[in-house]
Chains A and B, each alone.
Chain A
């Protein structure tokens, strides 16, 4: 039996729940903003009628935006996307056809976010396409250490040595006998795969969401799922992955229970990646 409040389609309600979970687990901003977000998210999770109220999501959008202003320019990009998404939810829930509006809004937001990423990687960055970004990142970023050692066979001492070789020198200086930076072939291969694979899937995602017609709806949702499950296994930016999956959920039809379940499973998996050092567990 439907509650007396406004009924919404299951995918939209699921997206509201997933977004509330994200706000609860990853609140951002100064402490008073985080308190407000935690309170809003908790109430939204407990009371279906409240989480379908446009004012709740307008408040959430305002709180996230206030946190961005307070911490600017430090917030990560997904915090901005979270603010846009909460605004989109508010606008959709306040209108006559929330499911249709939020599905189209999510398409635009996801497509534009990926387009911006592609522009930076493919056109503006001086060190992405030649592999420098991922080669260096794989060697110096702790978040990739387990995966690098697993794939390349490097020992921890090798990683430490490579990091020392990548320490910056003062401007114009060069060591007379500096340490040779030996990059194993496994790391170079991994960097190449991440560089071109990442660019390819982000370009495909942007194109499918911005220009793919309704006939390509399921394909773009599958591509988004693959992107999130694959990318955030190595780059544990939980907030971004979970947010994209919550946004993608609204494009599912009410009858597509398998697809909805896949998005929920993806959401749980991305959280798992961050909470459990999976690469370290399986590394010999």
Chain B
């Protein structure tokens, strides 16, 4: 039995081309190519999305930030991300799509309204960080800016 199994471990040409062998790899390649497209067209962080770009670049979600500015009559201020919004913010910086940024803006507006602070606009700036090759000085790199308006009566 041991010899039979050992010999059966040597793939035959037919098995080498079997769809059972090929299918998982086809899925891997398809997802990796999709990740590549999203990284270049939609600012997906190379660390995510199944493209195996982790540990290849500083452009990880943790090296991106989102700045929040709220505006209302007589009010314009920068807010820090509340703990309840951390997950939304992380998702937004990882892949700053309209849907994710809108969800974050909604959460910011809802929280401000709960605390009795009116908001008519929420501005979001998703930024990355560039590190100078010689001095290691860090500067911000704009990735995406959006402004969302909210009705004055809700």
Contacts and interface: CB of A to CB of B under 8 A. Distances in A.
Interface string B109-136: 0000000000000000001010101011
A168 B65 contact: yes
A81 B24 CA distance: 9
Contacts of A88: 24
A178 B137 contact: yes
Contacts of A116: 32, 51-53
A99 B24 contact: no
Interface of A: 2, 7-9, 11, 68, 73-77, 80-81, 84-85, 87-88, 91-92, 94-95, 97, 99-101, 103-105, 108-109, 112-114, 116-117, 120-121, 124-128, 130, 132-133, 135-137, 165-174, 178, 181, 183, 198, 214, 235, 237, 253-255
A101 B133 contact: no
B6 A120 contact: no
B131 to A, nearest CB: 5
Interface in B1-36: 1-2, 5-6, 8-12, 15-16, 18, 20-25, 27-29, 31-32, 36
A109 to B, nearest CB: 6
6 contacts: A73-B44, A127-B131, A130-B133, A169-B140, A172-B140, A173-B140
B9 A108 contact: no
Interface of B: 1-2, 5-6, 8-12, 15-16, 18, 20-25, 27-29, 31-32, 36, 38, 44-59, 65, 90-91, 94-95, 127, 129, 131, 133, 135-142
Contact of B139 (A113, A136, A174, A183): A174
B154 to A, nearest CB: 30
A172 B8 CA distance: 63
Contacts of A167: 138
